[in-house]
Amino acid sequence: MTRQERIAALKAAAKERVLILDGSWGVMIQKRGLAEDDYRGERFKDAAGQLKGNNDLLCITRPDIIADLHDQYFAAGADISETNTFSATSIGQAEYGMEAAVRDINLEGARIGRRVADEWTAKEPDKPRFLAGSVGPLPVMLSMSSDVNDPGARKVTFEQVYAAYSEQMKALHEGGVDLFLIETITDTLNCKAAIKAIMDLEDQGYEPLPIWISGTITDRSGRTLSGQTVEAFWNSIKHAKPFAVGLNCALGADLMRPHIAELARVADTLVSAYPNAGLPNAMGEYDETPHQTGHQLHEWAEHGLVNILGGCCGTTPDHIRHVADEVRGLKPRQIPERPKAMRLAGLEPFELA
């Protein structure tokens, strides 16, 4: 299939059923018990500082592990798997001194995922598999001060954030992703820089790809870290006309549900959700079982709240298998038609009919 054929197949599948995204990558990599040498490989054997924990580097140094994780999630029933590139920007990789490797991380991450997705599509042509380019948050924020004593202080400019995301987007596109997933968004202004980087690609000769945007509600306040409500967040990014919008991370399914319901009410596009396996325990581990996760997300689908479901922190292929089994045969959420109005946002939404 060509990329445009895959995109058409993705959109067609979304009209027929609740699509399934993969689960956590971090927890699965952690289970491998990798050593420093796994992260260094031959290419980075003389690099300064510790590289263990920089999971994105494994796209280069241990591609076998990354391919196996894609394979496990597709086998569990995922329609869509993400590239292992969550922190693969020059800003994110600066913490490890790996800025020069950013292009190759994204390129190889996309190539690995593309190969595995195509292998599954060849085996099961009635259920094509898709690859989302994972574009995660940054360790710096444009919306909030980096100095408590100086409200205007910022560690980066919009132009720097845009350039970092642009480098990542180009490599993911060239590597063969089917869509971009800007995820775990805590800062909407950072997200806007990522959106602009994607939208500008077409002017640079790249074919347009769908955009999927997933924000993060950081606590029971129902707001992102930069202070926006769910509806305000949607109003801030709807100009991108995303293929899907959703929430992920920070919360388990029980605490995320009311915010997903609110997003389902206001968003005139597909709605996605991939919660954590509950909240972490005192040891930082996640105790929610695959059965519990699957049962809760079944209720969301049964009540017509979602179009795409998956898992975030603490979820495994077994969690995804249970989710896929629980929602099989259920109809996806119907996209609402909202009356035309001027809808703006600061921290709160504003609507003028």
Annotated binding site for Zn(2+): 249, 312-313
Element (H, E) at 276: strand 270-276
Residue keyed to tokens 């590239």: 83
- Which DSSP category does 127 fall into? S
Beta carbons of 307 and 19 less than 8 angstroms apart:
yes
Beta carbons of 57 and 98 less than 8 angstroms apart:
yes
Q: How far apart are CA 219 and CA 13, in angstroms?
A: 33
Q: How far apart are CA 140 and CA 156, in angstroms?
A: 7
Residue type, 66: I
Residue keyed to tokens 């100009």: 239
Which residue ranges make up the annotated binding site?
A: 249, 312-313
Beta carbons of 184 and 92 less than 8 angstroms apart:
no
- Which DSSP category does 76 fall into? T
**Which token pair is 67?**
């391919």
Q: How far apart are CA 280 and CA 258, in angstroms?
A: 20
